[in-house]
Structure 1
Amino acid sequence: MTIETCLRRGLFALACSTGVATASPAIVVVDAPSNLGLRPPAPGVEPGARKLAAALRGTGFVDRLGARDAGRVDAPPYSPDADAATGFRNGTALAAYSRTLADRLGTLLADDAFVVVLGGDCSVLLGAGVALKRRGRYGLAFVDAHDDYTYPRDAARYRGRYTAAGLDLGLATGHGPAALTAIDGASPYFAESDVVHLGLVREAGDAAYGDVARFERSPIHILDRAAIERRGAAAVGASARERLAGAGTDGYWIHVDADVLDASVMPAVDSPNGEGISFAQLRALLAALLESPRAVGLELTIYDPDLDPTGAHGRNLAHAIVGAFADSGRFSTQPR
């Protein structure tokens, strides 16, 4: 390892001088097994994304990362019913849970450890956003096949039943009810100009569903799935990393929705993506994002073990994530 590479990866001078990366930051893993942001997959059925953390832990994920186990932050009971007070299914419960999750994450971040959150659905982003907002100004690398920003045109149809997991980026950037967008009285959790969206795939019905042009006109920087195919996942990840690291923020958070993966390799999600990326591309993309010491945490969401009876897709997901940490050159892991 050259000194230039060592310094770029944020390693201490002693490690650089010896060529041995002995200054790897500590990693802590905390579970956020929440389904509060999802609609029920069928009447009377609760989504299975709440089981993501247990499934990944079953692969040896925590040990392979060389991480400290920070336990779990249990979510309130899930309800399929409308919530008129917030407009979002489970919105009132989600606001309370986000505050509780933020409290736990704030304690972990204060220890200068790299925090890994195992969801859960994408609405765990709100808890992370609140925690980071309390600390200062942070950016966001948002890895997802969907924009999670655009509200449906037919508002009456969804009244009280909006799903926070499908609008988490919109909520985190200040669009929606104050109960969810300003949990501590401060909004947004992330400025749009401090967000990079990676992996977007547009589907034929998107424009009819909502005003997607509003998202595309926003200050959010978009590096879609086509850019990843054209430029390569590592190059796109590096581009996002440099933009986020150079934005004048206090650091950045990484959000990973498993539906960014192609349905042929990751069908165990609530909205499978027929034009997604491969596990190898996800690994390269995340390795580039993780390389910077400005990256302070990562959350993994949406994988549903109920849709993966053999557990094979979960094992592949765990391997890709652990591999990304190893490939970044910043952490000591066991990517077997």
Structure 2
Amino acid sequence: MTRVEVVGAGFNSAGRGDGVARAPQALRRAGLVAAVSARHDVEDAGDVAFGVPVPERGRSGLLAEEALASMVGGVRRRVAEILAGGGFPLLVGGDCPVLLGALAACRDVHGSAGLLFVDGHEDAWPPAVSTTGEAADCELGLALGVTATGVLPTGVLPGGVLAGGVLAEPGPLLRAEATALLGPRDGAELLAHGVASLRESLWFATDRDLTGRVAEKTADAVATVEGAAARWWLHVDLDVLATDQLAAVDYPQPGGLTWAELTEITATALRRPGCAGWSLAIYNPDLDEDGHEAARIVRYVEDALSCLGPRPQAPAGEGTGRP
């Protein structure tokens, strides 16, 4: 039986302590840990501590830079410990930048990392151009090392501002060929703001591309990631769902997936032994007064994790071993 370790990272990229920052505790109250324990050994590993966020833009253009770096570093260390110990991390945000620490940890332990990225947005805005200043607009671009000019400025991100949290050395966390993006539907917004899409840079399928072809497209996406990375991470941003499926998100859009479609994508990924861990983000409990959305998320997690099988162990000496 696979040991699942639940880790909370209640970080809100807006630099506040409300909204998505409250998601890990709200999902625990809704029965998340008990639901996971129905089929797996489970440990609640608590929440990652990080600095107090300040809602001001720093020199990168992002809000709450210091807290962001602190959070990413904390996630990196905790997830690396779980991976090195043979566990399967279930990382519960907060919002999407928790992914940066998870990818860094996967690379630390396994030497490299791939990514199956399931999200309603591409999340590759150049930080200084982001209309919100939230790192949740930017984390995939940061991981890939791309900006509007194609390359991160030396010493700014991730090797400078986030050096203590993401990388001890400059360079991207991900290669485009080891990355697949499922479900984005913000192409018109990006075009309106002059932000380049990732569509031509990596494996990419919008919500419309997935209609009636979820199984086929997911299998193709997973094969693409596995072809470039032996171990890889699954990231799910719940705003990939249609608003009539989940309304408790900060930035709703037209279109989106159904719960059944998202469950199929997630279960397909979790069946693969190369999937090293899973992060879940963007649920805002402040928009879910009676908790019914939290209960639906917990049911989704339980259903998807029913497909999780044994994970291969990290061979001795694999990766850098640096959490």
Aligned to 1:212: 196
Q: State the SS of the aligned residue for 2:162.
A: helix
- 2:47 matched to 1:72? yes
Question: Displacement of 1:148 after TM fit?
Answer: 0.3
Question: Displacement of 1:298 after TM fit?
Answer: 0.4
Tell me how far apart the structure 1 counterparts of residues 224 and 124 of structure 2 sit (CA, whole Å).
21
Distance 1:81 1:186, change over 3 A: closer
Deviation digits for residues 34-59 of structure 1, max 9, x if unmatched?
11x2366xxxxx54101111111112
- 2:309 matched to 1:330? yes
Tell me how far apart the structure 2 counterparts of residues 47 and 141 of structure 1 sit (CA, whole Å).
28
Tell me how far apart the structure 2 counterparts of residues 140 and 298 of structure 1 sit (CA, whole Å).
10
Deviation digits for residues 125-165 of structure 1, max 9, x if unmatched?
1111221222211100101011001338x84x86xx63211
Distance 1:329 1:71, change over 3 A: closer
| Equivalent in 5, 14, 35 of residue 38 of structure 1 | 14
Deviates more, 1:287-296 or 1:312-321: 312-321
Q: State the SS of the aligned residue for 2:180.
A: strand
Aligned to 2:259: 279
Tell me how far apart the structure 2 counterparts of residues 53 and 319 of structure 1 sit (CA, whole Å).
15
- Report the AA paired with residue 299 of structure 1: S
- 2:217 matched to 1:236? yes
Distance 1:329 1:116, change over 3 A: closer
Tell me how far apart the structure 1 counterparts of residues 126 and 212 of structure 2 sit (CA, whole Å).
29
Distance 1:33 1:118, change over 3 A: same
Question: Displacement of 1:103 after TM fit?
Answer: 0.9
Q: State the SS of the aligned residue for 2:277.
A: strand
- 2:156 matched to 1:174? no
Aligned to 2:319: none
Question: Displacement of 1:205 after TM fit?
Answer: 3.1
Deviation digits for residues 161-209 of structure 1, max 9, x if unmatched?
6321111100111134232376321421111111100111135332021
Contact kept, 8 Å, 2:144 with 2:176, in 1: the verdict is: yes
Contact kept, 8 Å, 2:237 with 2:281, in 1: the verdict is: yes
Tell me how far apart the structure 1 counterparts of residues 303 and 249 of structure 2 sit (CA, whole Å).
21
Instruction: Give TM-score scaled by structure 1 length.
Output: 0.81
| Equivalent in 259, 281, 289 of residue 309 of structure 1 | 289
- The number of equivalent residue pairs is 292
Question: Displacement of 1:121 after TM fit?
Answer: 0.8
Aligned to 2:92: 118
Contact kept, 8 Å, 1:150 with 1:210, in 2: the verdict is: no
Q: State the SS of the aligned residue for 1:96.
A: helix
Point out 4+ residue stretches in structure 1 off by more than 6 angstroms. Answer: none
Distance 1:329 1:94, change over 3 A: closer
Distance 1:145 1:187, change over 3 A: same
Question: Taking every aligned residue pair, what percent have the same amino acid on both sides?
Answer: 31
Tell me how far apart the structure 2 counterparts of residues 226 and 297 of structure 1 sit (CA, whole Å).
27
Tell me how far apart the structure 2 counterparts of residues 143 and 51 of structure 1 sit (CA, whole Å).
22
Aligned to 1:6: none
Instruction: Give TM-score scaled by structure 2 length.
Output: 0.84
| Equivalent in 53, 74, 79 of residue 100 of structure 1 | 74
Q: State the SS of the aligned residue for 2:295.
A: helix
- Report the AA paired with residue 297 of structure 1: G
Tell me how far apart the structure 2 counterparts of residues 47 and 63 of structure 1 sit (CA, whole Å).
25
- Report the AA paired with residue 31 of structure 1: G
- Report the AA paired with residue 26 of structure 1: R
Contact kept, 8 Å, 2:15 with 2:56, in 1: the verdict is: no
Structure ID, larger Rg: 1
Question: Displacement of 1:301 after TM fit?
Answer: 0.5
Tell me how far apart the structure 2 counterparts of residues 170 and 329 of structure 1 sit (CA, whole Å).
29
Contact kept, 8 Å, 2:50 with 2:70, in 1: the verdict is: no
Tell me how far apart the structure 1 counterparts of residues 301 and 254 of structure 2 sit (CA, whole Å).
21
Tell me how far apart the structure 1 counterparts of residues 7 and 274 of structure 2 sit (CA, whole Å).
20
The correspondence of residues 146-157 of structure 1 with structure 2, limited to 5 A, is: 146-151=121-126, 155=129
Contact kept, 8 Å, 1:149 with 1:171, in 2: the verdict is: yes
Contact kept, 8 Å, 1:173 with 1:192, in 2: the verdict is: yes
Tell me how far apart the structure 1 counterparts of residues 76 and 10 of structure 2 sit (CA, whole Å).
14
Aligned to 1:252: 232
Contact kept, 8 Å, 2:114 with 2:174, in 1: the verdict is: yes
